[in-house]
Structure 1
């Protein structure tokens, strides 16, 4: 069967959920610490004296996250690698005879999985220190803002604290920058990194298995709702490895010994992936190309435009953002307002999926339950 990052996409959800739960626990813990005794005249002094207690609570959240995340990362990558291998085995087994059939069995994967897991643990490691720093910085900022508010007569201490905490809930833990210099918050960054890693594991396992079987060419599917990065590679035949750039290769016919056929290739699979093919959220697949036999499959009908799929993701982010606002609310009125916004954006999602036929993915509207 063909391979795609999408076949392992759900595995990233378990890892991302751990970080989302930790971020929500962080927001709730800071909010609870600040809301306690908010109307007391000694509130500022009490809050500054209690910052050590907050540090201890946040460190406990981070320690639990580190313990859970390491195992979840390794498990997700092991499963993704296995799915990629099984996809290749299914394709090779369909060839019935010859070296391909002999190679249609799983290879030892421990070393590859350990390598991929270690790289992802290292990439997400700075998140833990950032969480502690952000929680303490936000706590001090809210104390300063709320303490100054009555002095300048601009607002009450409660309103100032609520406003500052709402900003924290909107941003979450920020400060993560990827290789393309794009900024992310904690959960989005970890989900992006993990989805990239599990997709890479599945594709790498598939190509490793094909290499062992001597397969030289693969073909890219023609998928609906494609993005501009993938469109140039749709339906194209690629070298599994080797030189970049288009050309014509002479290869043996898939079933007729001694007969060669000319195949036009658009480039190599590593070249296509470097330009964006098989990115996270990619709907394209890669499968074995059998010279003289394989014919491109027709493009499936599109349910919506690429822009509409991105609009759905934007609305999902808004649902999650207002749920975080509700978690950071210092009073019932703010919580009711935030929950009303949640329902509003969920209504917009229902309208979009009804108009387009896109599937509603309720999981992407959820935020974790705090520990």
Structure 2
């Protein structure tokens, strides 16, 4: 059975909910901190005195999130790695029961899982440090400028607070910069990171199992709505080890004649490069639809091309954008200080849900997934 990032999507989705729940909790903490006593003439003074309590509440959320997320990721990685190995076992079992039994006797490689878990914990550590700073920055900015804002613009502190909360709900906890220099907000980065690393665990489990029985080559599937990064690798043969560039090798046919006197047949195989090079170029990025299967010389054939008339990769990404916007407006609902603001945000949610339905209706290859429009629900 081929392996693909989709094999671990459910694991990543469940962990992403932890980050979204934390964001809602942070918005609620900040909303209550700003709204309390908002009509008092001493509001700004009282807010600055209460900043220690706010810091303590935010740090508690950040620490709980870090503990829960790291633990959940470690468990998800072990599960994903195991699924990848079982996919390899299924492929081998269809060919040779002896090989299947050999693969089953080999215990999962805990070092690979531990390495990935440690990498995730290290890469996301700055995220939790940023949470407290981001919330306190919003709080300080609103409270310190409330008096001058009212004098200069006539805007009430209630309006100023709501405006800051709306902005915070829209952007989330921002400021985290990845290794490529791209800025992320909390939930978006977490979703990308978790999807990426659980998919990697599934693929590593698969190729580790294949490598243990001497398999050397794999083939990439042809997937619908492929992106520019993946398209060059569709249907190509990749080496688990060895040369990174394109090359041709001659290998024994995977199914040899049973007679001892028959001549051994060989097959010329064009190898597009190494799996490591393909992944470095973007293959199996988060949300990638491609899969990877064992390649048998002379037996495995190139997969058929999946045409998607009237639908492009960009159309599918538009659906993802709409889903993110729906979740953003739902966060705005949570940040509303008064009923009028809450109703306005709810109306925006309905508008964007209509946009989601329209995009699906216009493209047969796109499926609406309402769970992806929810906050705090596995998708």
TM-score norm. by structure 2 comes to: 0.94
Contact 1:91 1:288 in 2 (8 A): yes
User: For each residue in 1:95-120, what CA deviation from the matched residue of structure 2 results, as whole angstroms up to 9, or x when unmatched?
Assistant: 12555653355533322211111111
Matched, 1:337 2:344: yes
Alignment partner of 1:259 out of 255, 265, 270: 265
Aligned to 1:134: 134
**In structure 1, what is the equivalent of residue 154 of structure 2?**
154
Structure-2 separation of matches of 1:271 and 1:99: 28
Q: What residue ranges of structure 2 are gaps of 5+ in the alignment?
A: 258-263
CA deviation vs aligned residue, 1:146-205 (integer Å, no higher than 9, x gap)? 222222243122111111111111111001112221111011111111111111111111
Answer yes or no: is the 8 Å Cα contact 2:252–2:266 preserved in 1.
yes
* Aligned counterpart, 2:243: 243
SS in 1 for 2:248: strand
- How many residue pairs match? The answer is 369
- Give SS of 2:306's match: coil
Residues 31, 298 of structure 1: CA spacing in aligned structure 2 closer, same or farther, 3 A cutoff?
Answer: same
CA RMSD, Structure 1 to Structure 2 (Å): 1.6
Q: Secondary structure at the match of 1:243?
A: coil
Aligned pairs for 1:96-115 within 5 A = 96-97=96-97, 99=99, 102-115=102-115
Please say if 1:291 is aligned against 2:297.
Answer: yes
Residue 18 of structure 2 is matched in structure 1 by: 18
Alignment of 1:77 with 2:77, yes or no, is yes
**Which of residues 264, 269, 282 in structure 2 aligns to 1:276?**
282
Q: Look up the match of 2:371.
A: 363
Cα displacement string for residues 321-356 of structure 1 (whole angstroms, at most 9, x for unaligned residues)? 111111111111111101110111011101111221
Matched-pair contact (CA < 8 Å) for 2:82–2:108: no
Give 3-state SS (helix, strand or coil) of 1:41's partner: coil
Cα distance in 2 between the residues matched to 1:276 and 1:37: 52
Which one is further off, 352-361 or 182-191?
A: 352-361
* Structure 1 unaligned blocks of 5 or more: none
Maintained 8 Å contact 1:145/1:161: no
Contact 1:219–1:238 at 8 Å: present in 2 too? yes
